[in-house]
C-alpha cells in the first residue's frame, strides 16, 4: 500500500520506482518473489532514478512522440490511431529489456545496444505478451495501480529475460 501512495506523490515516486527496480533484480536473480522492507530510502531513491530514466527514454518518450504524430493527422478517424497500439504494447516491455541490459554491468550504454534490445524483445515475446496486455489493461482501467501491477510485472520480466539469457548460453 505504501508503494501505491508513493507512486502518486511527486519526488516520492522515485522511491516506488526503486522498489520496482529491486523486484526486477530479484526476478533476474531468479529468487522467489518476496516483498522487501522499505528501509533503504536513499538506495531505493537512487535505484528509482535509474529506472525512471530508462522508462522515460524507452517507454514514455516513444508514446509521447507517436501521440504527437497521430495528433497532427488532419483526419479525425479511429483508424488514424491504429499505429498507437504497437507503440503502447512495446512501451511496456521495452524499458524492462533496457533495464536488463543496463544491469549486465550497470552501464547505461548497454541500454542503447539496439541489436540486443530487439533480440530480447523478439525472443521473449512468447513469455511476456499476455502479462503485458494484462498490465496495460490494469493501468488503463485504474491508472494509479501501475505500482501494484508493477510488483508482479517487473519481477516477471526480470525472470523472463534471465531465462532467455540461460537458453542462449545453453544453445
Q: Which pLDDT band holds residue 170 (cuts at 50, 70, 90)? A: confident
Percent with pLDDT over 90 in the chain: 65
Asked if 160 contacts 121 with a C-beta cutoff of 8 angstroms, the reply is: no
Reply yes or no on whether the pLDDT at 70 is more than 90. Answer: no
Across 63-90, average pLDDT? 81
- The range of the structural domain enclosing residue 53 comes to 2-170
Distance (Å) of CA 10 to CA 16, 44, 62, 150: 11, 15, 22, 18
Q: If we measure between CA atoms, which residue out of 2, 49, 47 comes closest to residue 25? A: 47
What is the overall mean pLDDT for the chain?
90
Give residue 68's pLDDT: 87
The pLDDT value given to residue 84: 84
Q: Find out whether 7 and 140 touch, Cβ atoms under 8 Å.
A: no
User: How many structural domains comprise the chain?
Assistant: 1
Q: Which residues contact 127 (CB under 8 A, 6 or more apart)?
A: 160, 163, 164
Per-residue pLDDT at 169 exceeds 90: no
pLDDT value for 145: 81
Residues 36 and 43 sit within 8 Å (Cβ to Cβ) = no
Residue 69 has pLDDT above 90, yes or no: no
Distance (Å, whole) CA 147 – CA 144: 7
- Is 70 exceeded by the pLDDT of residue 143? no
Amino acid at each position: 500500500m505504501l508503494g501505491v501512495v508513493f507512486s502518486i506523490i511527486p519526488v516520492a515516486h522515485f522511491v516506488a520506482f526503486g522498489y520496482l527496480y529491486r523486484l526486477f533484480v530479484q526476478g533476474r536473480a531468479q529468487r522467489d518473489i518476496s516483498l522487501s522492507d522499505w528501509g533503504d530510502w536513499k538506495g531505493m531513491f537512487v535505484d528509482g532514478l535509474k529506472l525512471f530514466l530508462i522508462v522515460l527514454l524507452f517507454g514514455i518518450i516513444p508514446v509521447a512522440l507517436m501521440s504527437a504524430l497521430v495528433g497532427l493527422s488532419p483526419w479525425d478517424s479511429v483508424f488514424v490511431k491504429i499505429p498507437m497500439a504497437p507503440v503502447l504494447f512495446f512501451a511496456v516491455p521495452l524499458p524492462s529489456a533496457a533495464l536488463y541490459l543496463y544491469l549486465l554491468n550497470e552501464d547505461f550504454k548497454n541500454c542503447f545496444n539496439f541489436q540486443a534490445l530487439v533480440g530480447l524483445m523478439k525472443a521473449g515475446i512468447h513469455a511476456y505478451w499476455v502479462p503485458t496486455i494484462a498490465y496495460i489493461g490494469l493501468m488503463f482501467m485504474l491508472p494509479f495501480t501501475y505500482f501494484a501491477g508493477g510488483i508482479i510485472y517487473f519481477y516477471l520480466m526480470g525472470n523472463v529475460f534471465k531465462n532467455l539469457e540461460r537458453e542462449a548460453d545453453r544453445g
